[in-house]
Structure 1
Amino acid sequence: MLAETRRCGGGNGGGNCGNGGDDETEDGVEYYRLRSFSITANGVFNLGDSLKSRRSRSINSVTSSGTSCSSTRDARLLSSASQLSGIESGVENDQGESTDDGTRVATYKVGMLGASGVGKTALTAQFTTSEYICAYDASLDDEYGQKSVSVMIDGQETELEIIDHPATEMSVETFCSSYNPDVYVVVYSVVDRRSLKFAEETLVHLWKSDYMATHGVILVGNKVDLQRKREVAAMMGRRLANSCGCKFIETSSGLAHHVDELLVGILAQIKLNPQRDRNQVTRRRRSKQRRTILKHLLGFKRKTKSCENLFVL
């Protein structure tokens, strides 16, 4: 009989705990993969993966036998990461799964948007495990759809349902209205300028449909490992994110570069949604918005907040 919690090796090439976070059963007990992270001013640290039984889901701490550090971002951009714990503690969520002792694990939906071939499916696969997954494995193309990943950050567990948008089969409008994700991740490939145009059109739709006002949105430039083929400079993605008021990060699903940072940043942006709602209510209550209008006319754009800091509004 397996123990209630089993550890998997952390980092790329870690121990085997099943395929990409899929549930396993043994002796009638259902197990799932739990990914654990810690956030410090120096970056996001991958504490490794473990297997947990559904009935032990209320356990709030996991100790990994092997601790590995993922690629860390600039400490300046992550210095406010500690806010995440405070945000989580103040959020009440009706979604989630109840455990045997009544503890609820909050569940949120993540919409992965972008043109075909930009690496949405590869990123989704990397989200589900600390093990290395070759981003250029053609078999991944058949794995698009909906996947779930359980994430523990500083002792608090959350489940994310990641929905991979089939760009050739469903319009962005239909996808958004059908699934209504809690956060939108808009992906383009840095080696395909046309995919940036698709991402821009997607962001415009999210803005016009008022999704961006109440939901977290992250623009992701993927495939930075293919530097010699790059067609989209980081500055172009950053400028687009700034103009739309969303977040920005560059990743490589092939090298698992900044993938952990993106995953943790997704959760951080979800936790900030209630604050967005409160800000919206406040704005709507104002009878006059002359100052806001003037700021936009004069080109004032969130200069005090970095689009690359995924832990703030």
Structure 2
Amino acid sequence: MVSNTSHSRYSSPPTMREFSVVVLGAGGVGKSALTVRFVQDVFLETYDPTIEEAYRRVIEADGVTASLEILDTAGAEQFTALNEMYIRSGRGFVLVFSLTQEASLREVDNLRQQIYRIKGGDEAVPIVVVGTKLDLVSEREVSRGTIQSLVARWGLPFYETSAKRNWHVADAFEDLVRQMIIRYPFDPAVKKRRLHRPCTIM
């Protein structure tokens, strides 16, 4: 964080970066609870199946200010026809499963493969994988060993979170923002043309 007395390097406000983030996963895994905790810092006590909900939040990561438009989607198995549209428009993806439901990991794997296919096989697409309901220890079905195996196989960051306790929620989104800042370097000329030709940094 730069103090208010440091004017020499920051005489004008930094350019705001804008990124579209898509939250995907099976129904009932806690996508909405995760998103609302991050954006509004409240916990949704009741489950209300989402069709589509958009949120916005401005955050700072690595000295870059980013405005995130976060699309909270329906359960992937319920509205699969919409997945391709979401994935084409998204720049970063939060793939959500429940630590209390091992079967929900299969949907994450399907979505991961779908993203790479739609994005033309580009495996530098910003993605974080998020396990929810970390606080429900006695109901946990997904072992840490399983997660470590998937980390090694997929090469993606995993976060174990609890929206109820606000454990590691911001960490997951901040990781994604850092990936997007690297993946989509700022180019004012590109913004004027309203298209992007990002370079890949691995």
TM range (shorter): 0.7 to 0.9
2:58 counterpart residue number:
150
How many angstroms apart in 2 are the aligned matches of 1:175 and 1:135? Answer: 24
1:138 counterpart residue number:
47
Q: Give the partner amino acid of 2:96.
A: V
**Cα shift readout 1:126-160 (whole Å, capped 9, x = no counterpart):** 1113x4x2243335x45951100011346542100
How many angstroms apart in 1 are the aligned matches of 2:38 and 2:156? Answer: 21
SS of residue paired to 1:196: helix
How many Å apart are 1:235 and its aligned residue? 2.2
Instruction: Tell me: CA distance 1:143–1:155, structure 2 relative to 1, closer, same or farther (3 Å).
Output: farther
Task: Please say if 1:216 is aligned against 2:138.
Answer: no
Q: Report the aligned-residue RMSD.
A: 2.7
- TM-score, normalization by structure 1: 0.51
Give identity over the alignment, percent.
Answer: 23
Query: Which consecutive unaligned segments of at least 5 residues does structure 1 have?
Result: 1-37, 39-59, 63-100, 280-312
1:174 to 57, 61, 85: 85
Count of aligned positions: 179
1:255 to 165, 182, 194: 165
2:102 counterpart residue number:
193
**Cα shift readout 1:164-217 (whole Å, capped 9, x = no counterpart):** 12122344333213xx21111110001111111111111122233336523111
SS of residue paired to 1:137: coil
How many angstroms apart in 2 are the aligned matches of 1:198 and 1:278? Answer: 27
How many angstroms apart in 1 are the aligned matches of 2:176 and 2:200? Answer: 20
Task: Please say if 1:117 is aligned against 2:28.
Answer: yes
How many angstroms apart in 1 are the aligned matches of 2:184 and 2:60? Answer: 20
Is the CA contact 1:121–1:164 (under 8 Å) kept in the aligned structure 2? yes
- TM-score, normalization by structure 2: 0.76
| Superposed counterparts of 1:297-312, under 5 Å | none
1:236 to 139, 146, 149: 146
Q: Give the partner amino acid of 1:265.
A: D
Which one has the largest radius of gyration? 1
Instruction: Tell me: CA distance 1:137–1:267, structure 2 relative to 1, closer, same or farther (3 Å).
Output: same
How many Å apart are 1:103 and its aligned residue? 6.0
Instruction: Tell me: CA distance 1:61–1:143, structure 2 relative to 1, closer, same or farther (3 Å).
Output: farther
Q: Give the partner amino acid of 1:164.
A: D
**Cα shift readout 1:263-284 (whole Å, capped 9, x = no counterpart):** 21121111121488335xxxxx
1:159 to 55, 62, 67: 67
Greater relative contact order (Cα < 8 A, sep 6+): 2
Instruction: Tell me: CA distance 1:189–1:264, structure 2 relative to 1, closer, same or farther (3 Å).
Output: same
